[in-house]
Structure 1
Amino acid sequence: MAAGKPQLLFVHGIGGLRDTATDRRRWLEALAAGARDAGMADAISGLTQGWLADVTFANYSSLFNLRGAQGDAVRELDAAEVTFLAGLLEAMLEELAEQCSAERSPQDARVIADARFQLDAAVLGRQSQGVGEIGRGLVGVTTTMLRLPGVRQAAQWMNGWAILSQLSQVGRYLDRRVRKVELGAAVRSRVLEDLDPARPLVVISHSLGTVVAYEALHEYGGGVPVWITLGSPLALGAVVLDRLVPRPASCPPNVAQWLNFWDRDDVVVGRPHLANWIGPSKNGVKAVTERVDSRGLWTHTATKYLAHGAVARPVIEALKP
Structure 2
Amino acid sequence: MTIVAVHGIANRLKGLAPDEAAAELSKRWRSKLQQGFASAGLDDHPLPALHAAYYAHHTTTTGAERQSDGPDLDSLDEPERDFVVAWALSSGSPALHEQQGLATAPLRQLLSWVARRRGVPLGTVTRFAVRLAGEVRRYLHVPQVRDAARSIVAEAIRRARPRVVLAHSLGSVVTYEALHAHPELEVECFVTLGSPLGLAGGVFDHLLPAPVTDRGSRPAGVGYWANLADTGDLVAIPPRLGDRFPVDQHADTHMGLIDFHTFGTYLASPLTAATIAPFIRPEPR
Name the TM tier (shorter chain): 0.7 to 0.9
1:124 and 2:104 equivalent? yes
Shift of 1:263: 2.2
1:262-319 alpha-carbon deviations (Å, 9 max, x no partner): 122223223453112114xxxxxx3421122224454222222222222112323322
Shift of 1:26: 2.6
Relative distance call for 1:150 and 1:191 in structure 2 (3 A) is farther
- 1:221-232 → structure 2 map (5 Å cutoff): 221-232=184-195
Matched-pair contact (CA < 8 Å) for 2:53–2:156: no
Relative distance call for 1:77 and 1:272 in structure 2 (3 A) is closer
Question: For 1:58, which of 42, 53, 57 is the aligned residue?
Answer: 53
C-alpha root-mean-square deviation of aligned residues, in Å?
3.2
Question: What letter matches 1:230 in structure 2?
Answer: L
Relative distance call for 1:153 and 1:301 in structure 2 (3 A) is farther
TM-score under structure 1 length normalisation: 0.70
> Matches of 2:24 and 2:171 in 1, distance apart?
18
Matched-pair contact (CA < 8 Å) for 1:205–1:228: yes
Question: For 1:219, which of 141, 158, 181 is the aligned residue?
Answer: 181
1:10 and 2:5 equivalent? yes
1:252 and 2:219 equivalent? yes
Match of 1:205 in 2: 167
1:73-110 alpha-carbon deviations (Å, 9 max, x no partner): 9655432332222211222222xx79xxxxxxxxxxxx
1:3-49 alpha-carbon deviations (Å, 9 max, x no partner): xxx33111111115234344323321221111112221013xx53xx
Matched-pair contact (CA < 8 Å) for 2:189–2:223: yes
Matched-pair contact (CA < 8 Å) for 1:200–1:222: no
Partner of 2:219, secondary structure, is: coil
Question: What letter matches 1:240 in structure 2?
Answer: V
Partner of 2:37, secondary structure, is: helix
Relative distance call for 1:202 and 1:154 in structure 2 (3 A) is farther
Partner of 1:203, secondary structure, is: strand
Match of 2:18 in 1: none
Match of 2:89 in 1: 90
1:28 and 2:24 equivalent? no
Relative distance call for 1:189 and 1:75 in structure 2 (3 A) is farther
> Matches of 1:86 and 1:275 in 2, distance apart?
23
Question: What letter matches 1:27 in structure 2?
Answer: W
Matched-pair contact (CA < 8 Å) for 1:16–1:65: no
1:183-223 alpha-carbon deviations (Å, 9 max, x no partner): 11111122223443683441101111111111011123221
> Matches of 2:254 and 2:156 in 1, distance apart?
35
Match of 2:17 in 1: none
Relative distance call for 1:165 and 1:317 in structure 2 (3 A) is same
> Matches of 1:305 and 1:294 in 2, distance apart?
8
Question: What letter matches 2:55 in structure 1?
Answer: Y
Match of 2:231 in 1: 264
- 1:144-155 → structure 2 map (5 Å cutoff): 151-152=120-121, 155=124
Q: Which moved more, 1:238-247 or 1:211-220?
A: 238-247
Aligned length: 263
Question: For 2:240, which of 273, 280, 284 is the aligned residue?
Answer: 273
> Matches of 1:218 and 1:240 in 2, distance apart?
16
- 1:29-48 → structure 2 map (5 Å cutoff): 29-43=31-45, 46-47=46-47
Unpaired stretches in structure 1, ≥5 consecutive residues = 1-5, 99-115, 126-136, 280-285
1:183 and 2:149 equivalent? no
Relative distance call for 1:145 and 1:272 in structure 2 (3 A) is closer
Shift of 1:165: 3.0
Relative distance call for 1:34 and 1:253 in structure 2 (3 A) is same
Relative distance call for 1:59 and 1:154 in structure 2 (3 A) is farther
Matched-pair contact (CA < 8 Å) for 1:251–1:287: no
| Identity in percent | 32
